[in-house]
Amino acid sequence: MDVLKQLLGRLHPLIVHLPIGFIMIGLLLQWYDRKRKENNSVISIIFLWAGITATLACITGYLQYLGEGYAFDTVKWHLWSGIATALFSFLMYAKLKAIQAFDFLSKLPVIGWGIFLFILISFTGHQGGNITHGEEYLIEPLPNSIKSALGFETFEEKEISLNEANWQDALLYEDVIKPILNNKCVSCHNPKKAKGELLLNSEEGILNGGENGSVIETSKSSESELFTRLILPMDNDDHMPPEGKTQPSKEEVELVRAWIDAGSSFEKTIAESGLEKSLFISFFPKKEDFDHPNIEIVAASEEQIKVIEATGIHIDQISKSSNFLSASCINKPTFTDADFEVLLPIKEQISRIDLGQTKITDGIFSKLAKLPNLTILLLDHTAITGKNLSLLTSLEHLKSINLTSTSLKTEHLEALNKFKKLRQLYLHGTEATPQNVKLNNPKISIDFGNYQLPPIASDTIVY
Amino acid sequence: MKDQIERLVQEHLAREAQEKTRRHFIKSCAQGLGGLALSSIFMGCDPLTKQSQKSASTFSERDLNPLATLAPHYGPKVKSVIYLHMAGAPSQLEMFDYKPKLHKLDGQDCPESLLAGKKFAFIKGTPKLMGPQAEFKQEGESGNWVSDFMPHFKKVVDDVAFLKAVHTDQFNHGPAQLFMHTGSARLGRPSIGAWATYGLGSENQNLPGFVVLTSGGNTPDAGKSVWGSGFLPSVYQGVQCRSKGDPVLYLEDPDGVSRDLKKSTIDAITKINKEEYAKYADPEILARINQYEMAYRMQIAVPEVMNINNEPEHIKEMYGVEPGKESFANNCLLARKLVEDGVRFVQLFDWGWDSHGVVRSGSIDKGLRNKCTQIDRPITALIMDLKQRGLLDDTLIVWGGEFGRTPMQENRGNKKMPYKGRDHHGDAFTMWMAGGGIKKGASHGQTDDIGFSGVEGRVSVHDVHATILHLLGFDHEEYTYEFQGRPFRLTDVEGNIIKEILS
């Protein structure tokens, strides 16, 4: 008997769709038939069957409630509204059939009945869905802003945002610890799930602890489970977050430790807690030091690039996340100053150009000056002397110049003092030496090369 | 003569007619239709054929030139990689991982607790601990430890970042080398160089994108699979060049064959191959087309780049090259030349680091010392030379073996060995990286007092791979290849970028 009870109970999610279908088709037909009212007899049969199947759904639903061990509180609204749906379907049938005993029904207009039944079936169905999928099933995919507007509590995945200027005044819990907990812990330790009866979404929850008691021993991180669970080996069952979930970074774990050791205050700022700056540096915004300017530009057209590549010049996109291009003459050693013109359609996009081992002359500098975003420039193994190098002063992003193995004349390097962004200069294999090149811009690091590895005695010893 | 040929042709036609019965016709019809259906099922698994089915007669740039460059996911820090593999596994305890405590414990029995549950290749019973056989000093501004086995290397110690606690789960050379280069100890996966060239292509259209050079008198135990292409198209496998004699065998045209004749031969073959490809859509045909054409271009370019005699004398002295011989020094200089010419991935294997103590050349105090002398100057010169040319910013150098060596002296067969040796050990060993995006002078990870296990900053082989891919501009979790119905990654389902050694 129990088997049958459970089996029938499990058919409930199937059977519920029958009354829904019957009621909807009944209501629709009533709408189409609203003027002529000549199909009442057919429509009434539909509502009769709606009532019958709704009753079946009620019975199987009740069996499922018994068989699957739901709490009555969970199912009661669904149960009562289900019974009401069955009842009102029969009443609708009676009204349409104009059965004498139910004469009082005719006082209410049929449209009112229809709307009422529609609301009832929607409500019942929604309640059922909530039982099966959970109350947040429909809310979950929505963006956080809409969720909170609907009155649902959200655990915003806010990143820690500290910087050189504000880090001391930031609140240790609110601005640092809370985002870590929200991003890595709260998806399980929140009022809805409360795994281990622990809530980590609020000060209160953290202080209350979980089923094993408190998770913080004041100022003793090594005895506080909020910290020790994080550093257990991954294969330990007590490790938190569990295997497979996003793990906090080393820096984040270290911050949780430091916060507990500093007394786990919920109000103090970082400065008041007396924590070292080194703990926070990895959360400061990174200065991206890529080989292109830190600006957005439009992409060059593919046709333009094809035309250029047909001449043998190699064009590469720096990365999929940037429209900047790198141009290289590695496959075109015959490149001369005149060949430069073909690059002009993509002059905005070129951030790196390699003209090494080509036939360029000092005439190239006036052309290179037309590349506003040039960041890295390679002119090695060419005949240039550096005359007109000063024309590149206008390139405000230029960071690195490679002049190795060129016919460089050191007197032309004077111009580099005015280059604002220049950081790196390679002069190996030229007449330049630390003695004859003195730049007064301390930001420029010059590599003169000519490294030596003089022989030492052990070079030739064989043991 | 003519009669004979006529007769042969007649005979052939007669036999053909005999075989082509009605039954034959029906049979071949059935096979043909079945095959047609099957091919669409099987080809569905392969992303490349899927693509080519769409356009069997038109070729994309990557179809015709598999080494055409592609952009990586995000800003790459380096354009090229030089991977220096010391095949046989160098002893970290005599090179970079200084353990003074081990010195004091020299000759004592290894504690049982360390041996429990561990697998060693040769150690039996209770081995004795063996102190470092080298003198160590802190060098450079970074103060990182370097032994007197590597006297030149101290000059570039501030340019490299050490990983002191790398671990692997393999303790035999073959599987460990495969793991180190393909991310799996079993055969069949592409090597790092294959992943790099597949994902990025190569700038220089006259040279292979992935070149392998070996020295030390032997090739790696794991065979050529350590530079293989696995399930990637075979054009991405490493091209092994010899550093002695002709770099690539049979590269020169035979007498009487002119360059023009060669060109028209290649053109004709390519035309036929393209027709074959249009019929069968087999990507291997495209690989073949490209190999013919690249071989043609390589005939000029390779002898040029592989000729170290053209280098100035002071550079040859700096590396300590031995022209005409197979040497690690030659290979280091070649590696620089190749990277300078835009080769994406250069892999150097130096054999002879398996210091068990069985023979003199494989001993910790003698043979290892000689091996260190052989690599010390070339590696130091390589770093300096790349630096002065401005190439070190665009290049990543990785140094390491397939595992490390035990703090215990090897006691093969539970007997005293003729020379001092150490057994294979995967729990903790040292690697280092240098070049673009690497934090200069960093040292990440620490081993315990005797160098047996990592106690802090342990990193896995997958972590090393994730870091290499990161520096090339790949998100190692996003960079996948569809094979046998699922996406594959170099790092499988593991790997964390080692941020501690990144600048």
| CA atoms of B250 and A353, how far apart (whole Å) | 36
pLDDT band at A281 (very low <50, low <70, confident <90, very high): confident
* Residues A127 and A248 occupy one common structural domain: no
A44 contacts: CB under 8 Å, gap ≥ 6: A92, A93, A96, A97
Q: Is the pLDDT score of A154 beyond 70?
A: no
To the nearest whole angstrom, how far is the Cα of B305 from the nearest Cα of chain A? 13
Report residues of chain B scoring pLDDT below 70: 1-2, 19-61, 63-64, 243
| CA atoms of A186 and A188, how far apart (whole Å) | 5
- Written as six digits, the tokens of A309 are 């590549």
Q: What is the mean pLDDT of residues A34-45?
A: 85
User: For residue A218, what is the DSSP state?
Assistant: T
To the nearest whole angstrom, how far is the Cα of B5 from the nearest Cα of chain A? 51
Query: Taking all residues of chain A, what is their mean pLDDT, rounded to a whole number?
Result: 88
| CA atoms of A40 and B52, how far apart (whole Å) | 62
- The residue in chain B having the minimum alpha-carbon distance to the alpha carbon of residue A286 is B503
| Contact residues, chain B, for A452 at CB < 8 Å | 314, 318
Residue with the bigger pLDDT between A169 and B465: it is B465
| CA atoms of B194 and B210, how far apart (whole Å) | 7
Contact: B387, A380; criterion CB under 8 Å: no
Nearest CB partner across the interface for A447, out of B69, B73, B387: B387
- Give the three-class secondary structure for B429: strand
- Written as six digits, the tokens of A236 are 């330990």
Helices and strands, counts by H and E, chain A: 14, 7
Task: Supply the pLDDT for residue A288.
Answer: 59
- The residue in chain B having the minimum alpha-carbon distance to the alpha carbon of residue A330 is B204
Residue B454 in any domain: the answer is yes
Residue with the bigger pLDDT between B472 and A158: it is B472
**Partners of residue B146 on adjacent β-strands:** B137
**Partners of residue A349 on adjacent β-strands:** none
Contact: B75, A319; criterion CB under 8 Å: yes
What are the pLDDT digits (tens) for A212-238? 888 998 889 999 999 999 988 888 888
Neighbours of A29 (CB within 10 A): 15
* Residues A428 and A309 occupy one common structural domain: yes
Number of domains composing chain A: 3
Task: Supply the pLDDT for residue B42.
Answer: 47
- Give me the helices (H) in B201-258, please: none
Residue A347 in any domain: the answer is yes
Q: Which amino acid is at A317?
A: Q
Residue A152 in any domain: the answer is no
Q: Which amino acid is at B488?
A: F
| CA atoms of B240 and A366, how far apart (whole Å) | 44
- Written as six digits, the tokens of B381 are 């010169």
Residue with the bigger pLDDT between A357 and B250: it is A357
- Provide the angle, in degrees to the nearest 10, between the axes of the packed helices A72-97 and A17-32: 40
Residue B121 in any domain: the answer is yes
To the nearest whole angstrom, how far is the Cα of A462 from the nearest Cα of chain B? 6
What single string gives the DSSP state of each residue in B438-472? B-TT-EE-EE-TTSSSEEES-EEHHHHHHHHHHHT
To the nearest whole angstrom, how far is the Cα of B302 from the nearest Cα of chain A? 14
- Written as six digits, the tokens of B130 are 């063996």
- Residue tagged 């009944």 (tokens): A26
- The residue in chain A having the minimum alpha-carbon distance to the alpha carbon of residue B362 is A463
State the CATH number of the domain containing residue A403.
3.80.10.10
What are the pLDDT digits (tens) for A28-39? 998 898 888 888
Nearest CB partner across the interface for A321, out of B74, B148, B152: B74
State the CATH number of the domain containing residue B329.
3.40.720
Task: Supply the pLDDT for residue B54.
Answer: 40
Domain limits for position B452: 80-247+306-462
- The residue in chain B having the minimum alpha-carbon distance to the alpha carbon of residue A446 is B388
* Residues A311 and A413 occupy one common structural domain: yes
- The residue in chain A having the minimum alpha-carbon distance to the alpha carbon of residue B315 is A452
Mutate to test the interface with A, among B94, B159, B389 (most CBs of A within 10 A): B389
Domain limits for position A68: 2-133
What are the pLDDT digits (tens) for B449-476? 999 999 989 999 999 999 999 999 999 9
Residue A210 in any domain: the answer is yes
To the nearest whole angstrom, how far is the Cα of B382 from the nearest Cα of chain A? 11
| CA atoms of B358 and B350, how far apart (whole Å) | 19
Kindly report the three-state secondary structure assignment for every residue of B61-92. Answer: HHHHCCCCCCCCCCCCCCCEEEEEEEECCCCH
Neighbours of B57 (CB within 10 A): 9
| Contact residues, chain A, for B370 at CB < 8 Å | 462-463
| CA atoms of A234 and A230, how far apart (whole Å) | 9
What are the pLDDT digits (tens) for A308-320? 999 999 999 998 8
* Residues A325 and A271 occupy one common structural domain: no
Contact: B388, A292; criterion CB under 8 Å: no
Number of domains composing chain B: 1
Residue where one domain finishes, among candidates A111, A133, A155: A133
Q: Is the pLDDT score of A111 beyond 50?
A: yes
Nearest CB partner across the interface for A426, out of B71, B205, B390: B390
Task: Tell me how far CA of residue B495 lies from CA of A282, B109, B460, B492, in angstroms.
Answer: 20, 36, 7, 8
- Give me the helices (H) in B253-403, please: 259-280, 283-305, 313-319, 328-340, 367-388
Residue B74 in any domain: the answer is no
What are the pLDDT digits (tens) for A182-212? 888 887 888 777 788 888 888 888 988 888 8
Residue A162 in any domain: the answer is no
Q: Tell me if A322 sits within 8 A of A298, measured CB to CB.
A: no
* Residues A350 and A409 occupy one common structural domain: yes
Contact: A319, B76; criterion CB under 8 Å: yes
A437 contacts: CB under 8 Å, gap ≥ 6: A410, A413, A427, A446, A448
Cα pseudo-dihedral B197, B201, B207, B212, rounded to 10: -10
Q: Which of residues 286-325 of B touch A (CB under 8 A)?
A: 314, 317-318, 320
Q: Tell me if A398 sits within 8 A of A392, measured CB to CB.
A: yes
Q: Which amino acid is at A191?
A: P
Residue A140 in any domain: the answer is no
Contact: A318, B71; criterion CB under 8 Å: yes
Angle at B314 between CA B310 and CA B315, to 5 degrees: 60
* Residues A308 and A421 occupy one common structural domain: yes
Mutate to test the interface with B, among A376, A451, A452, A459 (most CBs of B within 10 A): A451
Neighbours of A379 (CB within 10 A): 27
**Partners of residue B131 on adjacent β-strands:** none
* Residues A251 and A349 occupy one common structural domain: no
Interface A–B counts its CB contacts (< 8 A) at 96
Task: Supply the pLDDT for residue A342.
Answer: 94
| Contact residues, chain B, for A458 at CB < 8 Å | 148, 151, 373
* Residues A342 and A277 occupy one common structural domain: no
The secondary element (H helix, E strand) that includes residue A180 is: helix A178-184
pLDDT band at A5 (very low <50, low <70, confident <90, very high): confident
Residue A252 in any domain: the answer is yes
Task: Supply the pLDDT for residue B157.
Answer: 96
ipTM entry:
0.82
| CA atoms of A232 and A217, how far apart (whole Å) | 17
| CA atoms of A169 and A162, how far apart (whole Å) | 10
Residue B220 in any domain: the answer is yes
What are the pLDDT digits (tens) for A396-438? 999 999 999 999 999 999 999 999 889 999 999 999 999 999 8
Task: Supply the pLDDT for residue B235.
Answer: 86
Residue B343 in any domain: the answer is yes
Share of chain A above pLDDT 70, in %: 97
Q: Is the pLDDT score of A69 beyond 90?
A: no
- Closest to B437 in 3D by CA, of B344, B503, B345: B503
| CA atoms of B447 and B456, how far apart (whole Å) | 7
| CA atoms of A158 and A141, how far apart (whole Å) | 18
- Give the three-class secondary structure for A308: helix
Task: Supply the pLDDT for residue B51.
Answer: 43
Q: Which amino acid is at B168?
A: T
Residue A250 in any domain: the answer is yes
Strand A350-354 and strand A376-378: the pairing is: parallel
Task: Supply the pLDDT for residue A82.
Answer: 94
Residue B391 in any domain: the answer is yes
| CA atoms of B345 and B463, how far apart (whole Å) | 19
At B186, phi and psi to the nearest 5? -100, 155
| CA atoms of B275 and A231, how far apart (whole Å) | 61
Contact: A314, B388; criterion CB under 8 Å: no
To the nearest whole angstrom, how far is the Cα of B392 from the nearest Cα of chain A? 11
Residue B296 in any domain: the answer is no
- The answer to whether the Cα torsion of B61, B67, B68, B70 is positive or negative is positive
* Residues A94 and A204 occupy one common structural domain: no
Residue A260 in any domain: the answer is yes
pTM of the full predicted structure? 0.71
To the nearest whole angstrom, how far is the Cα of A138 from the nearest Cα of chain B? 30
| CA atoms of A396 and A415, how far apart (whole Å) | 14
Helices and strands, counts by H and E, chain B: 14, 17
* Residues A262 and A308 occupy one common structural domain: no
Q: Which amino acid is at A353?
A: I
Task: Supply the pLDDT for residue B112.
Answer: 87
At A376, phi and psi to the nearest 5? -125, 130
Contact: B393, A400; criterion CB under 8 Å: yes
B155 touches A: beta carbon within 8 Å: yes
* Residues A271 and A318 occupy one common structural domain: no
Residue B276 in any domain: the answer is no
Q: Which of residues 185-224 of B touch A (CB under 8 A)?
A: 203-206
